Structure 1
């Protein structure tokens, strides 16, 4: 039975499979941290309610595992998904009380997760709130790895991936069990990539240094009762923004100014929390686009070498590309739309 506090919950470690003979590819990481987090929701102000880490060797063998529930200082959100109730989380540690333990398990390892951008973003926000820098430099998404390996999967759900490798799931949407089954599925995936000498789909992790404090926080730095009076309630998706009132003036001209109405897309991690950065763009009169097309004026990314779908499309259609620092500098002096 999983305990309600932050000591690691003991479960049977999976059997260790023999590693294939032959040289291991040079340049592969020296270790991995397979991570799963459960959260109060999907928006930037949502919080982590539980976290789990399986540490793996360079060849994917399990070293150890760790799990902790987390008091989110607000309503726990979709209890029908993660199973964690207000009462269960009432005496759980705050994130800042487990951050050292978590950081120790992530240090000098590649973060591995299923839909890794989500788990990394939630962790990056929590580390930022705790005024800490996560010791993670790269991440690997097992969805992307499955695609690189061309695994014959009907979809890329976690249960489909682990079922492909014959891994039994015991408690779906429990952070510790999700991390366990993902670690078991990652090992053979890693070995397949190694045997074919495929480069791993590694992406840089950029810590968040600026974010907007959401209404869900207690705001006083003290432990708040989950679901206490006055706490923000509910599980909400990202909010919709009003339509940009200005016409699209076309593409950004390198060396020039941004103009109100330009369509701006973002790709990859940003030091400013993505929703806050998008808010700043909207307030300046820009249109935030969720995809890249021939009408996109500019793509903002800190990893121009990454082969994300937006970057591939931007290069194909000739969309200008800027990094976050240059973009935020240009935001200070956006030219008015024609006729304004």
Structure 2
């Protein structure tokens, strides 16, 4: 029910913000690649919902990025379907209305939110260039373009990051893999011929419905850690367009304070200049570990290479991802608490 405020003596006062009837919004996207800096969105699916899981508004659209749509098997759309899609600039205002002032639920926030921010800024920059052209005389008299703004959700909850912080074993990091790891009745995330033949809007909506179920399943386990949640203002794009914390991006871009003394030797102190990689499988907020890394004049790196000195990871048995590659390269592992203890005793030079 909508109420009309009293415009008497308090007309000049700003009315308090009213929480929407459906305070959550689930977002699933399809893109031509994995990096927002080089790939483009080709489909977006949005569902608003409330505490009981009741759906409010539904929105789905196919997008035409005006560039190579990429392979059909990657997103489920034919070149003809993409060509018939809308421009992102024409749907940005709708996305603003659906996402603003709601808690946004996504799986793999750096990628999903990265695509939304990248596309919004492309649309806004294109509109600004067009408006400047009108101001210089070309198209004078035509209405200025107002395409919308970068959406402003209250917070962004990442189901994948939440699973990793809780050390839920994931054979497959896709949403379906997480659902199966939680014991939910969900289809396998592995591609099948049958699924490939279904329309994209059906499979993407199916994924978005599952995202809501996974969110509630994660939130129901009150004994576990809190949900991995970020404020949009605390995030910015890295060089790949992935939206990460300011702490992480600053650390990635920071100059090396000292030469790299090499691989850490277990039992000895860490040494200034050593290169540290933080794997996703840690219980503490990775930003805490990264901040302490920089404070101790160590070097943070997102990518694991043969120059890496140590990897922070809490999973030391069933190794996968960065931890597995570290062990193969002879790079030692430290748990998050072991690493915090170690940074308190960082030395200025290696022992002889």
| TM-score normalised by the chain length of structure 2 | 0.52
> Which residue of 23, 33, 36 corresponds with 1:41?
33
- Work out the CA distance in 2 between the residues paired with 1:156 and 1:205: 23
Say yes or no: does 1:201 pair with 2:228: yes
- Work out the CA distance in 1 between the residues paired with 2:60 and 2:243: 31
Alignment length, in residue pairs? 225
Deviation string 1:275-311 (CA, Å, 9 cap, x unpaired) is xx98xx69x9999x9xxx9526999xxxxxx954354
Q: Contact 1:103–1:135 (CA<8 Å) still a contact in 2?
A: yes
Aligned to 2:130: none
The equivalences for 1:146-295 within 5 A come to 146-151=163-168, 153-163=170-180, 164-168=183-187, 171=195, 174-193=203-222, 196=223, 198-206=225-233, 268-269=244-245, 294-295=272-273
Say yes or no: does 1:134 pair with 2:151: yes
The equivalences for 1:304-323 within 5 A come to 308-309=285-286, 311-315=288-292, 318-319=295-296
By how many angstroms is 1:96 displaced? Answer: 0.7
By how many angstroms is 1:69 displaced? Answer: 0.6
Higher relative contact order, chain-length normalized (CA < 8 Å, sep 6+): 1
The equivalences for 1:291-302 within 5 A come to 294-295=272-273
> Which residue of 145, 150, 162 corresponds with 2:162?
145
Aligned to 2:319: none
* 1:55 match: secondary structure: strand
* 2:104 match: secondary structure: strand
Q: CA RMSD in A?
A: 4.4
Deviation string 1:242-293 (CA, Å, 9 cap, x unpaired) is xxxxxxxxxxxxxxxxxxxxxxxx99345xxx7xx98xx69x9999x9xxx9
* 2:221 match: secondary structure: helix
Q: Contact 1:33–1:106 (CA<8 Å) still a contact in 2?
A: yes
Which structure carries more helix by proportion?
2
- Work out the CA distance in 2 between the residues paired with 1:309 and 1:148: 9
- Work out the CA distance in 2 between the residues paired with 1:319 and 1:59: 46
By how many angstroms is 1:48 displaced? Answer: 0.5
Q: Contact 1:71–1:92 (CA<8 Å) still a contact in 2?
A: yes
- Work out the CA distance in 1 between the residues paired with 2:68 and 2:83: 10
Q: Contact 2:107–2:211 (CA<8 Å) still a contact in 1?
A: yes
> Which residue of 81, 87, 90 corresponds with 2:83?
90
Indicate the larger mover: 58-67 or 72-81.
Answer: 58-67
* 2:60 match: secondary structure: strand
Please list every run of 5 or more consecutive structure 2 residues that lacks an aligned counterpart in the other structure: 1-21, 125-148, 189-193, 261-270, 278-282, 299-352
* 1:68 match: secondary structure: strand
By how many angstroms is 1:116 displaced? Answer: 1.4
Aligned to 2:47: 54
* 1:80 match: secondary structure: helix
| Residues 210/63 of structure 1: CA separation in 2 closer, same or farther (3 Å cut) | closer
By how many angstroms is 1:95 displaced? Answer: 0.3
Q: Contact 1:69–1:89 (CA<8 Å) still a contact in 2?
A: yes
| Residues 80/141 of structure 1: CA separation in 2 closer, same or farther (3 Å cut) | same
Aligned to 2:100: 107
By how many angstroms is 1:71 displaced? Answer: 0.5
